[in-house]
Structure formats: structure tokens, C-alpha cells
Amino acid sequence: MNIFILSVSEHVYSTKRIYDEAINRGHDVSIINHTRCSIKLSNGKRQIVYEGDDITGEPDVIIPRIGASVTRHGAAVVKEFEMNGVFSTARSLGIIRAQNKLRTLQILNRKNIPIPDTIFSANSEGIKEQIRLLGGAPVIIKLLEGTQGIGVILAETEKSAKSIIDTLQVMNTGFLLQEYIKESNSEDVRAFVVGDKVISSMKRKGLEDDFRSNIHRGGSGSMVKLTSEEEEIAIKAAQYLGLPVAGVDLIRSKRGPLLIEVNSTPGLQGIEAFTRVNVAEGIIKYLENKCSKSLRMK
């Protein structure tokens, strides 16, 4: 296969791991900085131009590694490849959906995927009622487009919640309120979905003085076995959003597993280190199985 990895740098751990595994399995691989791609639309024709060359029809598959700061541009590039019949490990619409936490939860709640009780409102004057609807303080306040635990705030009282919300509204920043699941004990579970399987999973625990469990925030990880219900939730969530490859984050509550987030560009460093599973190889094997029939027909 001719594989394009859409990434801003060849030195990013996840990009390098996927590149190395694809090369080891005999594929032609290019790392394309999607931020340097231009899209040309003219007379019903379209081109993706990179370093002066039209690369629209070159790859058999693409592996988008689209960062939060360039979501719209990256998704537009992915869309152009899709319209040219190129298979992607993350569909353009899935990338946009996953980047917005509210949109993700709206879609998955409609599909009966269990989530923490969540409120989206622009009315800071009704904060008392909103907190009551979530079972009382403390509550979690989340920016709609935060990543790696950034923009996730624990408001321990109604007063602090209102102060934080007032500040966010002045800054014209989108956010949502979510119930605080005390029994999760600053832990969550990352399920790494590839196709119709969870190929690796880990438990993440935050620092002693931090309720967030993100590895990037100093948390630790360990291998964990998912229940059948957790696996089903993770796989269905990725499929509903249009993400053949995804990181699905769950917390364990008294009423069962709850989905908190889906990542269209899940990192490999933490999960490979803590589980010793070759996730990068799993992605390439999936692409081989998924695309072999269509490539033979070309």
C-alpha cells in the first residue's frame, strides 16, 4: 500500500511509530504535513497540492493525525482525499465531531451510549438550577474543545462554579457542565479501538492532588481488562462517530461504565508503554485487511 500519514512532524512519537511499523511491513509511506497542503477547486475538479505537487490520487489510505489547533483545515484535507475514494482511519466528519465534546455527547446520547449527566447552557444566572439538575456540587466544567485534560475544571461549590462560568462567558468560550463521579477516584479507562475491536486498553490514574487522570498531566497508567459492556460501548461509540481508529475514554461508576470522551487522534506512547501492546502494528494490519480487496480490484 501507499500510505500517507497526515502529521505536522515526523518526530511526533505516534507518527514515528506508525511510520516505522508500516515500513517494516513493506509499505510505501510518506509523512505529509497537512498544514502545508492547499486545496484547489476549479471547474468541477479538485486538487490537493503539497510542496508544488498534486498528491490527490497518490495514497491508497491515509492516517490522519490532526491536532486540535488545526482541526478544520485538517478535516478539509481529509475530506478531499475521501472524495477521491481514499480510505481514512478517521473520517473528516468524525474528526470534527470528536473535537467538540458537546457534539460527541449529543450524538452518542441519542444512540443510548451511557454518559455522565451533562448540561449545556448559556445562562449563568440559572447556575443554581443547573447544578441541582446534576445532583449538586461539586460539578465538572469542560471547555468544548479542550484536550489532554486542559480545560477540565472541578468546581467544588456553587459559588466557584458561577465564578468560573462568568469568566468563560466573558471570554466567549464554549463549555458544558457535567456531574462529578466521585467513585471514579480520579481514574478512567482508555480503550483503543481499531475497526471492530478494542486492541488495547489501560487504566489511567491522576496525581494525588488532581482529579484528572490524563497521562499528559502527570498521571500514571496500567494494563486493564475491559468488561464486555465497556468494549461494546467503545466500539459502538467509535463507529457512530465515523472513526475506524479511536481512543475512547470511560469512567467506572455505580451505575456502570460511562463514556466521557472520544479522541480521533489517540496517542500511542502511553498505551504502548503501559500495556506492551504494539498498537501501531495493529493499525497497519487493520489497514491491510480492510484495503486488500479494493486494492486488488484496481
pLDDT of residue 147: 64
For the stretch 25-43, pLDDT in tens is 999 999 999 999 999 999 9
For the chain, what are the domain ranges? 2-88, 118-180, 183-282
Q: Give the SS3 label for residue 51.
A: coil
For the stretch 196-240, pLDDT in tens is 999 999 999 866 655 555 555 456 789 999 999 999 999 999 999
pLDDT of residue 171: 86
- Is 2-88 a CATH 3.30.70.3340 domain? no
Query: Which CATH number does the domain 183-282 belong to among 3.30.470.20, 3.30.465.10, 1.50.10.10, 3.40.50.620?
Result: 3.30.470.20
For the stretch 134-163, pLDDT in tens is 999 999 999 987 665 578 899 999 889 888
pLDDT of residue 218: 52
Q: How far apart (Å, rounded) are the C-alpha atoms in residues 264 and 247?
A: 7
Domains 2-88 and 118-180 share a fold: no
- One-character DSSP codes across 220-282: EEEE-PPPHHHHHHHHHHHHHHT-SEEEEEEEEETTEEEEEEEESS--SHHHHHHH---HHHH
pTM of the model: 0.90
Residue tagged 470511560 (cell numbers): 250
The CATH code of the domain at 118-180 is 3.30.1490.20
CA distances, 189 to each of 118, 156, 251, 265, 275 (Å): 19, 24, 6, 16, 12
